[in-house]
A and B are shown apart, each in its own frame.
Chain A
């Protein structure tokens, strides 16, 4: 147990926590995306799906219970991920008190890798906005509890809202492009024969997530989903 605690205290241990919570996010993001795509099948299917989320786990779980369990797990993961990110961010900021005169010349790092931290902050802000928009309805012009499909379509009638979602999904795409690869590295997934598939996997995950999520707001703005 002492060793597990010292793992948590070490910089590498915190990164492992970020990678593990990152895997939780990736799984969540995929499940969420498949749910969203139900919008293409019309109001009945979509609202039925929204209702299913509340009844999932029955009869072992009561109405909404398993959903709440998932929410608690996700909240916990966000707190761990963000806390570790900020602690490591600080550690790195302190580690170079005198900056290079004209910066370091990037050689192998990518735009995605260099924007993980601020990109993460954007994602955090987006998650808050998104919950106020479609879950509580606080930031929604005409929110009706339980009418998931109608809320969705009305929500994306506004072009600025669609643009905000596009920007956030761009940030998510970049975060995953580096994060999936980086997470495999952090979790020690390393084999001479398979290492070359790690980058393509990250591209695939980032690409699918971006297209999958963006399709719904874009289809609504374009009048394909009404």
Chain B
């Protein structure tokens, strides 16, 4: 199939960017979206032009680096999949495709379609970890965890930090990302010692990074490649409220909730 692409080109963080029109010719249905961009880039290189910069690594939906906004939808039209998992069979001959980077003040453009998602790393740095020594792999069921909590924690832990939630949010809010990180540790016994400080610090860092404020549109959930539920946002809200009212210092508490 032949396609017309409108791709955001921006040489560096400080210069003004704009859309450039490209034609992608003879693209196979079986090509992935990123392979389609590879083909366009080969042509550009052959013509002595600068190829389109876009981020990618695993190309199998686990590293979270490949975010693109495609026709106004982060990661494109396929739900529950990252851009690298999107195939060209979702498009037909003659389609016009607009390709843009994540748009958020907290995610400055590095080049073309590549943004700096360091803000998410800095949020993790203020508490998205545990201090308990985990040692070697423990015996199964040595620490009892309710099945519901184990499953919810796994759902939250499936976040790959791609930032699509921010890109999809009309408010450019990072609540789903922060909610996933807070919930995944807060649901497990190992996450209890720093539970309150974690939620307070993560939210404070989120605010200071310049993300917007959530109004529960649920667009994040729709574009999350791991389909993480906004129920985790409700959990975050409650955790923050409880942590703010609790005056007692952190205690070691067994059992999660």
**Contacts from A to B (Cβ < 8 Å):** 3-4, 6-7, 10-16, 88, 91-110, 113-114, 116, 178, 181-182, 184-190, 192, 195
Chain A residues with CB under 8 Å of B233's CB are 185
Task: Given A6-B244, A95-B105, check contact A182 B221 (CB 8 Å).
Answer: no
CB-based contact B212/A186 at 8 Å: no
20 new A-B contacts at CB < 8 Å, known A95-B173, A108-B222: A3-B244, A7-B244, A10-B240, A11-B206, A11-B207, A16-B237, A92-B170, A92-B213, A92-B215, A96-B172, A100-B100, A102-B98, A107-B223, A108-B219, A113-B216, A181-B216, A184-B234, A185-B216, A185-B230, A192-B231
In the A-B complex, list the 4 residue pairs whose CB atoms are closest, starting with the nearest.
Answer: A188-B238, A92-B212, A95-B212, A190-B234
Chain B residues with CB under 8 Å of A195's CB are 231
Q: Does B171 contact A (CB under 8 A)?
A: yes
24 inter-chain pairs at a CB distance below 8 angstroms, sorted by A residue, are A3-B244, A4-B245, A7-B240, A11-B206, A11-B207, A12-B236, A12-B237, A96-B103, A100-B72, A101-B19, A104-B168, A105-B71, A106-B219, A108-B218, A108-B219, A109-B219, A110-B217, A186-B237, A187-B237, A188-B237, A188-B238, A189-B234, A190-B235, A190-B238
Q: How far is the CB of B213 from chain A (nearest CB, A)?
A: 4
Q: Does B110 contact A (CB under 8 A)?
A: no
Total number of B residues with any Cβ neighbor in A under 8 Å: 53
Closest to A14 in B: B213
CB-based contact B100/A3 at 8 Å: no
Q: Does B214 contact A (CB under 8 A)?
A: yes
Q: How far is the CB of B8 from chain A (nearest CB, A)?
A: 8
Q: How far is the CB of B250 from chain A (nearest CB, A)?
A: 12
Chain B residues with CB under 8 Å of A104's CB are 72-73, 168, 170, 219
CB-based contact B234/A185 at 8 Å: yes
- Bound-state CA distance A179–B230 (Å) is 16
Interface of A is mostly: helix
CB-based contact B106/A95 at 8 Å: yes
Chain B residues with CB under 8 Å of A96's CB are 103-105, 171-172, 212
Q: Does B210 contact A (CB under 8 A)?
A: yes
Closest to B229 in A: A195
CB-based contact B105/A185 at 8 Å: no
Interface of chain B residues 56 through 77 with chain A (CB within 8 A): 69, 71-73
Q: Does B200 contact A (CB under 8 A)?
A: yes
Chain B residues with CB under 8 Å of A101's CB are 6, 8, 19, 72, 98, 100
Q: How far is the CB of B238 from chain A (nearest CB, A)?
A: 3
Closest to B218 in A: A108
Select B244's contact among A13, A15, A103, beta carbons within 8 Å.
Answer: A13
- Bound-state CA distance A181–B214 (Å) is 14
CB-based contact A178/B216 at 8 Å: yes
CB-based contact A190/B103 at 8 Å: no
CB-based contact B172/A3 at 8 Å: no
- Bound-state CA distance A113–B44 (Å) is 43
- Bound-state CA distance A13–B212 (Å) is 14
Q: How far is the CB of B57 from chain A (nearest CB, A)?
A: 25
Most buried by A among B71, B170, B206, B233: B170
Q: How far is the CB of B66 from chain A (nearest CB, A)?
A: 18
Q: Does B27 contact A (CB under 8 A)?
A: no
Chain B residues with CB under 8 Å of A88's CB are 213, 215
CB-based contact A116/B105 at 8 Å: no
- Bound-state CA distance A184–B219 (Å) is 18
Q: Does B22 contact A (CB under 8 A)?
A: no
Q: How far is the CB of A65 from chain B (nearest CB, A)?
A: 33
Q: How far is the CB of B151 from chain A (nearest CB, A)?
A: 10
CB-based contact A15/B213 at 8 Å: yes
Select A105's contact among B6, B72, B173, beta carbons within 8 Å.
Answer: B72
Q: How far is the CB of B206 from chain A (nearest CB, A)?
A: 8
Q: How far is the CB of A25 from chain B (nearest CB, A)?
A: 17
